[in-house]
Amino acid sequence: MRVARCIAYATLIAVAGCQSNHSSLTAAGPQAKKIEWLYWVIFWISLIVFVLVIAFFAGGVAKSRIDEAEMAPVLPQDEERDRPAKGAVSIAIAITVVTLFVVLVLSIVTGKSAAGLTSNNPITIEVIGHQWWWEARYPSPQADLTAVTANEIHLPVGKPIIILTASRDVIHSFWAPNLNGKRDLMPGYQTAFSFQVDTAGIYRGQCAEYCGEQHAHMGFEIVAEPADQFDAWLQQQRKPAIDTTDATALRGREVFLTHACVLCHTIRGTEAGSKVGPDLTHVATRRMIAAATLSNAPGSLAGWITDPQRIKPGARMPANPLDPDDLQALITYLRDLQ
Ligand code: CUA
């Protein structure tokens, strides 16, 4: 019974892994497909090696039992008897070395071809790591048209994407396994890598380099969508924040501009221009907040604003004990920032 249950759970986990939006075994683009191919090659080689080792081990045990049963005399030094065994060991070592060499060459070739930069009219996105969130910038020749978002990176399907990485504090690592391998973000050092997404969908990414106490909650989402949807999204993100007319939202804006919020966040089109925390100009368009930790709903927004330390201890955002009416107004305003 217990074995059956174990097998059922293992199957469930395996199936869930196969369909995941955070798995290198569900490749969504050409670079990830190369990595997935390499995974399966190594998997099958390892499986064959495992089966062979177990088979020889079992054969050896069986043979030693027969020898014992027949009480064959075992001499400590018997050149004649040991010769076939020595030959077998030499052949096994040779096969192991060749196999490891083949795997090494395949890994290097796959790594190189997955990391290669494409130059066919790519989309360039700057990704900057912060403790513990991601800033994504879509540069424009006109500085005030640069779109800045956080923890949610939109991409058009079927177009080469170039990601320029940097970090503001410590080393982070950008990892969206459905799209490509890991890429470190180094303070004071910009790197570039490229990939393409061929299947529309929402993919989960995660910081893959330990960067402090909230490393595990440094997630992000990649939204891969058809080109027209992406263009519409980008055009919206390039605009300044909407000029709200709703009385509650206006009060919320006042709360934002007169409390601690303004010391860290930008809302383009208002006086708020600090770059310490995420740009909130279009925060209402995002699916999640707090680096893909919470859904972007009024309740979680209220919890996050009031006491972020309870949700992500150590996060750079301080607690904001607001008057309930002020909090309500602030949330109305933030929910308006489409
Ligand atoms: Cu950033 Cu781990």
* Architecture (CATH level 2) of domain 247-335: Sandwich (2.60)
Q: Which residue is it, tokens 């045990």?
A: 61
User: Sheet of 160-167: strands edge to edge?
Assistant: 147-150, 133-138, 123-130, 160-167, 191-196
Q: Which residue has the tokens 């330390």?
A: 309
Buried b (16+ CB within 10 A) or exposed e, 102-122: eeeeeeeebeeebbeeeeeee
Q: How far is the CA of 134 from the centre of ligand 1 (A)?
A: 9
Gap from CA of 212 to ligand 1 centroid (Å):
7
- What size, in residues, is the chain? 338
Q: Is it true that 16-63+81-236 and 247-335 share their CATH fold?
A: yes
Which one of 2.160.20.10, 2.60.40.420, 3.90.1170.50, 3.40.50.300 gives the CATH number of domain 16-63+81-236? 2.60.40.420
- Before 132, cis peptide (omega within 30)? yes
Q: Is the beta carbon of 172 within 6 A of some atom in ligand 1?
A: yes
Is the Cβ atom of 218 under 6 angstroms away from ligand 1? yes
Residue 129 Cβ contacting ligand 1 at under 6 Å: yes
CB atoms within 10 A of CB 67: 12
Q: If you measure from the C-alpha of residue 128 to the centroid of ligand 1, how many angstroms do you get, rounded to a whole number?
A: 11
Return per-residue pLDDT of the chain as tens, 338 residues: 566 676 656 655 555 555 589 998 998 998 999 999 999 999 999 999 999 999 999 998 998 888 777 765 555 667 777 788 888 889 989 999 999 999 999 999 998 888 766 667 789 999 999 999 999 999 998 888 999 999 999 999 999 999 999 999 999 999 999 999 899 999 999 988 889 999 999 999 999 999 999 999 999 999 999 999 999 999 999 999 988 889 999 999 999 999 999 999 999 999 999 999 999 999 999 999 999 999 999 999 999 999 999 999 999 999 999 999 999 999 999 999 99
Q: Is 291 left (phi over 0), alpha (psi -120 to 50) or beta?
A: left
Domain boundaries, the chain: 16-63+81-236, 247-335
Note the pTM of the prediction, 2 decimals: 0.85
Atom number in ligand 1 closest to CA 129: 1
